[in-house]
Amino acid sequence: MFARVFVRFAALVLAVLAANLAYAGDPDPKDWPSVLAEAQGQTVYWYAWGGAENINDYISWVGERVKADYGVNLEQVKVSETASVVTRVLSEKQAGRTDGGAVDLVWINGENFKAMKDAGLLLSSPWSTDLPNHALTDFENKPVLGRDFTEPVDGLESPWGTAQFTFYYDSASLPEPPRTLDALQGYIHAHPGRFTYAAPPNFIGTTFLKQVLLGLVDDRSVLSRPVGQADFDAVTAPLWAWLADVTPDLWRSGALYAADTTQLKTLLADDEIDIAMTFNPGEASSAIADGTLPDTVRSFVLDYGSIGNAHFVAIPFDANAKAGAMVVANFLLSPEAQARKADESIWGDPTVLAYQKLDAGGKALFDALPRGAATLGPDQSGAVLNEPDSSWTDALEAEWARRFGAAR
């Protein structure tokens, strides 16, 4: 008996020691010069959604810059679903890996962040708040930078951009878009086959479900608590009813959905649908700039506001090039990188920096940014709705799959 207790105790001591040893080996962003030194020559594999050409181009520009400035080699690993990255790191953990993992940096938010955090798949000590450029972020005024889908960030991921759920349409063929849920419902019935969304679990599809749900529930506060504390069926019943009502008049009668935001854009460009949706408020202007969409395209949001969130980058616990990954994350927060990202001719993704914290040079970069005709101004973009608690994501996706995921 005593022997068993002793063995357990010894194992515990060893585990703690091992954890501390591992911890001691991780780069510490408070000592930034040594992080820079360690990062020199490292290759960072950044697993990032690769469905959009302009974002890939932007990432490859980041690669050139971190190579030139810090000697870090950046390789984008283009993924179609971030959940697969979570699985990847989880498999490595289950296979007993503690270092040398495939993933150094991952573009992430929401339920995937929570999944990695809960499973201990992230770098265990807070690091993002100690990045030199973190001081420039607007964490005081943008609560989405501190809580990712209600989950505290806790310094385990570093903000990259913000997003707001936005619709866009061609004003040449649709003079006045439907700005309420009822109007949208009516529009779908009046124009069969001209509206669709992306199939969950694609993030834009899942967000559409949440957006509709937020417009239909009486008490939005239930959504900010874990789904387990709510009567899921009762809360979501109006959503399923709404979807069931419009589905027969969706594009392809709901037998097929778009794959992601890029396909929605293509469908609008092909004039297969009348209204597309995106998480990037600059998407329409950006697409006009590169010739994908006609210059008559405009954006709109629903009258009750639209979901806003932030997206981040995180470092897995077993990352091979942690210092390099931190250098990349810090560079992403530089005024130069943020201003370029916000440029609609490049990408158009809103910044996470606070304008007033920037120096004159930084401010000038943002002042020089034009705002495209298809981008909503601050007065037009309406109220920002908070993401529901991340636990709702899986529940909504599973229920959607059950009801609509096996059409016919």
Partner 1 sequence: MRLKRNGPAVSEPPAKVTAKATGAPPIYLRFFSWSAIALVFVPALAGTVYMFPMAFGGEGGWLQPFATLFGVPGIWTSILLSLWIGLVATAFSVALTSLFFAAFAQTRAVSVLSGLIRPLLAIPHAAAAFGMLFLVAPSGFLMRLVAPLLGFQHPPDWLLVNDPAGLSLAAGLALKETPFLFFVVLAALPQIDRRLTITAATLGYGRIWGFLLSAFPALYVQIRLPIIAVIAYSTSSVDMAMILGPQLPPVLSVQIPRLMNDPDLSLRMAASAGAIVQLAITALAIGVWLLGERMAISAFRSLSTRGFRLRGDGALRSAILVVSAWTFLVTYLGLGLLLLWSVAASWRFPDLFPSHFTLDGWLSPGSDLISLVWRSVALGIASALIAMIMAVGALELEYRRGRPIAGGGWLSLYLPLLLPQIVFVSGLSFLFLSLGWDANIFAVAAVHLVFVFPYVYLTLAASWHHFDRRYLDIARSLGKPPFMALVEVRLPILLAPLLTACALGFAVSIAQYLPTLLIGAGRLPTLTTEAVALSSGGNRRLIGVYALLQALLPFIAFALAGLGPRFVWRNRLALSGPVREISGRSA
Site for partner 1 in 116-135 (CB under 8 A): 119
- Report d(CA 125, CA 407) in Å as an integer: 45
Q: Given the rule CB under 8 A, which of 90-98, 160-168, 359-367, 370-378 is the region that contacts partner 1? A: 90-98
Any contact of residue 331 with partner 1 (CB under 8 A)?
A: no
Nearest-Å Rg of the Cα atoms of the chain is: 22
> Which one-letter DSSP state was computed for residue 343?
-
- The stretch among 26-34, 71-79, 329-337, 353-361 that binds partner 1 (CB under 8 A) is 71-79
383 vs 278: CA distance, rounded Å: 16
State the nearest-atom distance from the C-beta of 402 to partner 1, in Å.
5
Between CA 80 and CA 263 the distance in angstroms is: 13
What does the alpha-carbon distance between residue 292 and residue 289 come to, in Å, rounded to a whole number? 8
Residue 387 tokens, joined: 């993401």
Note whether 405 binds partner 1 by CB under 8 A.
yes
Q: Residue 384 interacts with partner 1 (CB under 8 A)?
A: no
Give the residue with the Cβ less far from partner 1, 106 or 353: 106
Residue 365 CA to residue 220 CA, distance in Å, equals 38
Task: Select from 27, 35, 39, 58 the one that contacts partner 1 (CB under 8 A).
Answer: 58
Binding mask 144-183 for partner 1 (x = CB under 8 A): ----------------------------------------
Token code pair at residue 111:
């339920």
Nearer to partner 1, 17 or 401 (CB): 401
Spatial distance between the Cα atoms of 408 and 405, rounded to a whole number of angstroms = 9
Binding mask 253-292 for partner 1 (x = CB under 8 A): x-xxxxxx-xxxxxx-xxxx-----------------xxx
Cβ-based nearer residue to partner 1, 222 or 273: 273
User: Crossing angle of helices 203-216/181-190, nearest 10°?
Assistant: 120
Site for partner 1 in 1-40 (CB under 8 A): none
Check residue 52 for interaction with partner 1 (CB under 8 A). Answer: yes
Say if strands 105-108 and 43-49 run parallel, antiparallel, or are unpaired. Answer: parallel
Region of 150 please: left (phi>0), alpha (psi -120 to 50) or beta: left
**Closest by CA position to 353, among listed 369, 373, 372:** 369
Single residue of 75, 140, 231, 367 touching partner 1 by CB under 8 A: 75
Least distance (Å) between residue 377 CB and partner 1:
27
Q: Which of 95, 356, 360, 377 binds partner 1 (CB under 8 A)?
A: 95
Q: Which region among 6-14, 25-33, 84-92, 125-133 touches partner 1 (by CB under 8 A)? A: 84-92
How many residues lie near partner 1 (CB under 8 A)? Answer: 72
Q: Cβ 173 to partner 1, closest distance in Å?
A: 9
Question: How many whole angstroms separate alpha carbon 298 and alpha carbon 282?
Answer: 10
Contacts of 233 (CB under 8 A, 6+ apart): none
Among 261, 275, 139, which Cα is nearest to 206's? 261
Q: Between vectors from CA 300 to CA 299 and to CA 301, what angle results, nearest 5°?
A: 140
Considering beta carbons, is residue 124 or 173 the nearer one to partner 1? 173
User: Contacts with partner 1 in 187-206 (CB under 8 A)?
Assistant: 192-194, 199
Which position among 22, 28, 73, 77 is part of the footprint of partner 1 (CB under 8 A)?
77
Task: Please identify which residue in 13, 25, 53, 125 interacts with partner 1, judged by CB under 8 A.
Answer: 53
Q: How far is the CB of 162 from partner 1 (least distance, A)?
A: 22
- Closest listed residue to residue 372, CA positions, set 271, 294, 276: 294
Residue closer to partner 1 by CB (options 121, 136) is 121
Which residue in the set 20, 34, 40, 84 belongs to the binding site for partner 1 (CB under 8 A)?
Answer: 84
Q: Site for partner 1 (CB under 8 A): which residue of 81, 138, 154, 295?
A: 81
366/306 Cα distance (integer angstroms): 25
Nearest distance in Å: CB 260, partner 1 = 5
Residue nearer to partner 1 on the CB measure, 275 or 302: 275
Q: Rounded to an integer, what distance in angstroms lies between the CA atom of residue 381 and that of residue 378?
A: 6
Residue closer to partner 1 by CB (options 79, 235) is: 79
Structure tokens at 172: 């040449």
Minimal distance, residue 203 CB to partner 1, in Å: 12
Using CB atoms within 10 A of its CB, is residue 113 exposed (0-12), middle (13-18) or buried (19+)?
Answer: buried
Amino acid at 41: G
